């Protein structure tokens, strides 16, 4: 294993916050005396390279770690399980490396001799890799995040930090311009958060396993109403009752440019809904601009569809969130292009004389993982706003056109009738 390969195997990354104060130093160590560090770890077969670690916590916008070095060495941010970002110098070249689940990518590199400072951190929905040989920092590269998880960071170097100095974890106001949420929106009832609050805790990212969906769609229950079996769009219409403009392909249909939101011809109340979807395999955009769509129950309550595999956004806008209200318990997203499933149990609200007497409830399983459980919905959900209930009956199941080519397949529904 050479030095470059080593960094692609033990180095990882850090994250975002927001605010208006001056730069704030959270931790610094000039001589690497050992105080404030978790451990030194010797790395076999790397010619003497070692790692010194410390816990960095969740992603915080504008927070970076910095170090100055005279020889070889660098910074890492680790999300565990073979996932990390690193910025380091080896043999006179600076390398920006990103590794996810053991798959390594060299993001960029540059030649730099003499004394050099490195900076690795988080700007909005991206890692930033920067270096300085004079007065100005140079942005070498940026890359998508590795996962919404707590991070371990620190330095990697030959010979116990020899030739390194000035390590800092610092919160930089200059990196807080990229927003991935809102702070000027109404407060969500019953919570301390506002709608699309960027400071709300992020759901941890988990691997959903292989329970569902299979390579080929399964068969629906015998009493289900099949909304799409891969052959036609007869059960669907656009918002004006016309034939939908979404494109029918081999076993699925896909949203195209200006296709418009579509809905079921039939209206439904309380239901069990199964739906499978996939975001584009080619990643474009970030935050809400990546694989965005939505499933609306009764035409009013949205379960968000979103590519949130290594893609940070406001928590109440992630995949399987109740949009604008409640984040998922965990982020169970599969990689871009992979088929994913929602199994949704939706119970209609009840009204008497125009007043709500029983609020709507919803349960969601994302790829077989429970992400919402019997959640009571406080009112009408929406973008950047909250609205009280208004009396309504059954409504259409809607699929949103948000400008991204999201595809759907294997959609069926079962109406939930009262038990006699």
Q: Within a domain: residue 197?
A: no
Co-location of 241 and 171 in the same domain: no
Report yes or no: 43 and 117 within 8 Å, Cβ to Cβ. no
Number of domains in the chain: 2
pLDDT reading at 302 higher than 80: yes
Contact in structure between 294 and 323 (CB atoms under 8 Å): yes
Same domain for 248 and 331, yes or no, is yes
Question: What's the CATH code of the domain at 148?
Answer: 2.60.120.200
- Could you give the 3-state DSSP secondary structure of residue 6? helix
Among 105-114, 146-155, 183-192, 280-289, name the one with the lowest average pLDDT.
Answer: 146-155
Average pLDDT value for the chain: 86
Lowest mean per-residue pLDDT among 1-10, 296-305, 370-379:
1-10
Residue 209: inside a domain: no
104: in domain: yes
Is residue 212 assigned to a domain?
no
When comparing pLDDT for 388 and 207, which is higher? 388
Give the model's pLDDT for residue 94. 95
Compute the chain's Rg from CA coordinates.
24
Summarize pLDDT for 135-171 with one digit per residue, the tens: 899 999 988 777 767 788 888 888 777 888 889 999 8
**What's the pLDDT at 11?**
38
Scanning 233-324, the segments in alpha helix (DSSP H) are none
pLDDT of amino acid 318: 94
Q: Using omega within 30 degrees of 0 as the cis cutoff, is the peptide bond preceding 213 cis? A: yes
Burial of 65 (0-12, 13-18, 19+ CB in 10 A): buried
Most confident of 86-90, 148-152, 262-266: 262-266
Look at 197 and 345; give whichever has higher pLDDT: 345
The whole domain housing 43 covers 3-175
Does residue 169 fall inside a structural domain? yes
Residues 166 and 51 in one domain: yes
Rounded to an integer, the average pLDDT of 210-217 is 68
Residues 271 and 392 in one domain: yes
In Å, how far from its chain's centre is CA 325?
16
- Domain match, 246 and 164 both: no
* pLDDT given at position 213: 66
Q: Which residue has the higher pLDDT, 397 or 105?
A: 397
Distance of CA 175 to the CA centre of its chain: 19
Residues 231 and 132 in one domain: no
Last-in-domain residue among 113, 148, 175: 175
| Per-residue confidence band for 182, with pLDDT thresholds at 50, 70 and 90 | confident
Domain assignment present for residue 116? The answer is yes
Domain membership flag for residue 167 = yes
Same domain flag for 139 and 262: no
What does the DSSP 8-state code read for residue 334?
A: P
| Residue 25 burial (C-beta neighbours within 10 Å; 0-12, 13-18, 19+) | exposed
Examine the fold and report which residue of 111, 145, 175 is the final residue of a domain before the chain moves on: 175
Cβ atoms 414, 225 nearer than 8 A: yes
Least confident of 140-144, 240-244, 348-352, 410-414: 140-144
CA atoms of 131 and 93, how far apart (whole Å): 11
- Give the residue among 409, 159, 220, 200 at the shortest CA–CA distance from 313: 200
DSSP bridge partners of 346: 271, 362
- Taking CB atoms within 8 Å and a gap of at least 24, the contacts of 44-50 are 45/1, 46/1, 46/2, 46/3, 46/6, 47/3, 47/158, 48/158, 48/159, 49/3, 49/6, 49/156, 49/157, 49/158, 50/156, 50/157, 50/158, 50/159, 50/160
Query: Per residue in 379-410, pLDDT tens?
Result: 988 888 888 999 999 999 999 999 899 999 99
Q: Indicate yes or no: pTM above 0.85.
A: no
- Of the candidates 170, 12, 36, the one whose C-alpha atom is nearest the C-alpha of residue 98 is 12
Domain identity same for 86 and 163: yes
One DSSP character per residue, 218-232 reads -PPPTTPEEEE-SS-
Distance (Å, whole) CA 171 – CA 23:
5
Q: Measuring CA to CA, how many Å separate 310 from each of 127, 164, 205, 247, 283?
A: 11, 31, 8, 28, 11
Q: Out of 51-55, 185-189, 222-226, give the one with best mean pLDDT.
A: 222-226
The H-or-E segment that residue 7 falls in is helix 3-10
Highest mean pLDDT among 53-67, 135-149, 168-182, 299-313: 299-313
Would residue 287 count as lying in a domain? yes
Residue 16 has pLDDT above 50, yes or no: no
Residues 74 and 162 in one domain: yes
Check whether residue 266 and residue 151 sit in a common domain. Answer: no
Q: What is the dihedral of CA 329, 337, 251, 416, to 10 degrees?
A: 10
Q: Are residues 234 and 112 part of one domain?
A: no
- CATH code of the domain in which 296 resides: 2.60.120.560
Check whether residue 239 and residue 376 sit in a common domain.
yes
């Amino acid at each position: 294993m050479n030095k470059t390969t080593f960094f692609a195997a033990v180095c990882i990354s850090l994250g975002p916050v927001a605010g208006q104060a001056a730069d704030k130093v959270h931790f610094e160590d000039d001589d690497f005396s050992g105080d404030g560090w978790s451990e030194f770890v010797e790395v076999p077969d790397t010619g003497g390279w070692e790692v010194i670690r410390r816990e960095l916590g969740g992603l915080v916008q504008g927070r970076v770690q910095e170090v100055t070095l005279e020889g070889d060495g660098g910074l890492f941010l680790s999300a565990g399980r073979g996932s990390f970002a690193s910025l380091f110098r080896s043999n006179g070249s600076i390398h920006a490396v990103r590794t996810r689940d053991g798959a390594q990518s060299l993001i960029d590199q540059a030649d730099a001799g003499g004394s050099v400072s490195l900076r690795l951190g988080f700007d909005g929905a991206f890692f930033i890799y920067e270096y300085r040989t004079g007065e100005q920092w140079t942005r070498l590269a940026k890359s998508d995040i590795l996962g919404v998880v707590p991070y371990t960071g620190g330095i990697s170097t030959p010979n116990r930090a020899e030739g390194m100095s000035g390590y800092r974890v610092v919160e930089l106001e200059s990196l807080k311009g990229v927003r991935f949420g809102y702070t000027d929106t109404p407060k969500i009832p019953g919570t301390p958060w506002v709608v699309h609050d960027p400071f709300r805790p992020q759901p941890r990212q988990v691997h959903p396993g292989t329970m569902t969906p299979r390579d080929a769609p399964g068969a629906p229950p015998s009493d289900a109403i099949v909304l799409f079996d891969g052959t036609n769009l007869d059960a669907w219409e656009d918002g004006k009752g016309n034939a939908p403009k979404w494109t029918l392909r081999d076993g699925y249909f896909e949203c195209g440019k200006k296709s418009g939101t579509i809905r079921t011809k039939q209206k439904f109340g309380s239901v069990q809904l199964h739906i499978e979807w996939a975001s584009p395999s080619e990643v474009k955009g970030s935050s809400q601009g990546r694989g965005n769509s939505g499933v609306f129950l009764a035409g009013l309550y949205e379960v968000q569809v979103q590519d949130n595999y290594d893609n940070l956004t406001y928590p109440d806008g992630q995949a399987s969130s109740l949009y604008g209200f409640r984040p998922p318990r965990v982020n169970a997203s599969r990689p871009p292009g992979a088929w994913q499933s929602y199994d949704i149990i939706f119970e209609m609200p009840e009204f008497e004389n125009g007043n709500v007497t029983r609020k709507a409830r919803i349960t969601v399983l994302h790829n077989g993982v429970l992400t919402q459980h019997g959640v009571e919905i406080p009112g009408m959900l929406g973008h950047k706003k909250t609205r009280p209930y208004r009396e309504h009956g059954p409504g259409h199941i809607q699929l949103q056109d948000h400008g991204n080519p999201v595809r759907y397949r294997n959609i069926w529904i079962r109406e939930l009738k009262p038990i006699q």
